[in-house]
Structure 1
Amino acid sequence: MLTLQCPYCGVQADETELAPGYEAHLKRYGPGSSPEEFESYMFARKNPKGVHFERWRHAYGCGKWFLAARDTNTLEVFGTYPAQSSAPPADLVAKIKLKRPEWEGYK
């Protein structure tokens, strides 16, 4: 079972308390964007085997959205951080690189 720690309230919540929000750090396109840009935002998602950054909501807790880094192959969670972050924190990236030296980094 997947267990994530909410960075806001500090609760270790299993996946039954959480709601997935799918891929994190998407570039959002709205009015004035080309049809191709909007289509890529709406429908094109990464589906990696390995390290992935995702959005989660602590639905049955504080209700806040947060971001998590985890390995989709092993379900290992590297850490969580606030949803307002524009990129993963440097210490989290360093932790991932330490455990997964072959990882190419956040893009």
Structure 2
Amino acid sequence: MLLINCPWCGPRDETEYHYGGQAHVPYPGNPADLDDRQWAEYVFYRDNTKGPYAERWMHSTGCRRWFNVLRDTVTNEMLAAYRLDDPRPEPHNVATPAGGPR
């Protein structure tokens, strides 16, 4: 099981959360101009990187808020949890694991 640190509620078991996909995916600037292929890329295509990966999670049985998590896809370690209005932390600058205090 993963231990995810909600920025508002603190560390909780992963069963309290819902995964929301890749974080920091910008909405198209002018969606009316996108063709079907471009819409499909926006909706379905996501990075599949090895290492630190920014994801969106929602604390569904707690505060019901969305937030971002930086997770290492190789080790499954939660490197950082941060609010949607906070910038993505650089992996080498993360001093406290997501299970610790903010």
Q: Which has the higher strand share?
A: 2
Kindly report structure 1 stretches of 4+ aligned residues shifted beyond 3 Å: none
SS in 2 for 1:66: strand
- What SS does the corresponding residue of 1:37 show, helix, strand or coil? helix
How far residue 78 of structure 1 moved from its aligned partner, in angstroms, is 1.1
1:1-107 mapped onto 2 (5 Å cutoff): 1-9=1-9, 11-29=10-28, 31-35=31-35, 36-85=37-86, 87-88=87-88, 92-93=89-90, 96-97=91-92
Specify the SS of the correspondent of 2:40: helix
How large is the RMSD of aligned CA atoms in angstroms? 1.8
Task: Return the alpha-carbon distance in structure 1 between the equivalents of residues 84 and 33 of structure 2.
Answer: 24
Shift of 1:81: 0.6
Identity between Structure 1 and Structure 2 (%):
36
1:72-106 deviation digits (Å, cap 9, x = unpaired): 11011111111234x41xxx31xx2258xxxxxxx
What's the counterpart of residue 100 of structure 2? none
Which runs of no fewer than 5 residues in structure 2 stay unpaired?
95-102
Query: Which has the bigger relative contact order, CA under 8 A and spacing at least 6?
Result: 2
